[in-house]
């Protein structure tokens, strides 16, 4: 059973800093995923059917999510890695991005997704949140994946927490918008 339920009454968590990164500034995990995808398709976006989970560097898979690109600029989680399930406190697979993010965080996430779809290029960002238990900082790379006709139909993202990785810290920043149900 999917355990996510958005909580609208507490208001959104807000990133205090959102920074576009160059590849050299990103975490090693983001750089390794980019390098792997480039081996599959050096001239542009990789096709989804080229992605084989068993060929991804093993330590990255738990931090990867896959989103379907839907009409009207909407995005649905097709896959949500196990490290993300643990960090968020539930599995977002099958949920819409708008069910997981709210407010400025949702606007930023949609902006990044749109940018990746339109440009057909990866986008690297560093996000910082301030919580009552301290900061949470994570790097994210979002990559386009195309179908056989070359249309961007999916987005692959790797989210790598680099500070505040303790589960209670991440949940403190997100519990305002998520409520796990049994």
Q: How far apart are alpha carbons 117 and 152 in whole angstroms? A: 6
Give the pLDDT confidence of 79-132 residue by residue, as tens digits.
999 988 887 778 999 999 988 876 677 788 899 999 999 999 999 988 887 666
Q: How far apart are alpha carbons 126 and 67 in whole angstroms? A: 19
Query: What three-state secondary structure class fits 112?
Result: helix
Give the pLDDT confidence of 49-63 residue by residue, as tens digits.
999 988 888 789 999
pTM (predicted TM-score) = 0.79
Q: How far apart are alpha carbons 122 and 137 in whole angstroms? A: 20
Q: How far apart are alpha carbons 144 and 113 in whole angstroms? A: 9
Q: Are 116 and 122 in contact (CB under 8 A)?
A: yes
């Amino acid at each position: 059973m999917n355990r996510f339920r958005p909580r609208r009454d507490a208001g959104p968590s807000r990133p205090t800093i959102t920074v576009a990164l160059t590849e050299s500034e990103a975490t090693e995990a983001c750089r390794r995923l980019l390098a792997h995808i480039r081996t599959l398709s050096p001239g542009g976006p990789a096709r989804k059917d080229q992605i084989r989970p068993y060929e991804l560097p093993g330590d990255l898979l738990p931090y990867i999510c896959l989103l379907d690109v839907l009409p009207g600029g909407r995005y649905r989680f097709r896959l949500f890695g196990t490290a993300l399930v643990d960090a968020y406190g539930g599995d977002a697979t099958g949920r819409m991005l708008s069910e997981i993010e709210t407010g400025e965080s949702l606007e930023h996430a949609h902006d990044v997704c749109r940018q990746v779809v339109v440009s057909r290029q990866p986008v690297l960002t560093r996000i910082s949140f301030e919580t009552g238990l301290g900061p949470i900082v994570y790097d994210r790379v979002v990559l386009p994946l195309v179908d056989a006709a070359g249309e961007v139909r999916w987005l692959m993202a790797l989210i790598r927490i680099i500070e505040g990785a303790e589960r209670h810290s991440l949940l403190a920043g997100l519990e305002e918008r998520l409520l796990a149900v049994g």
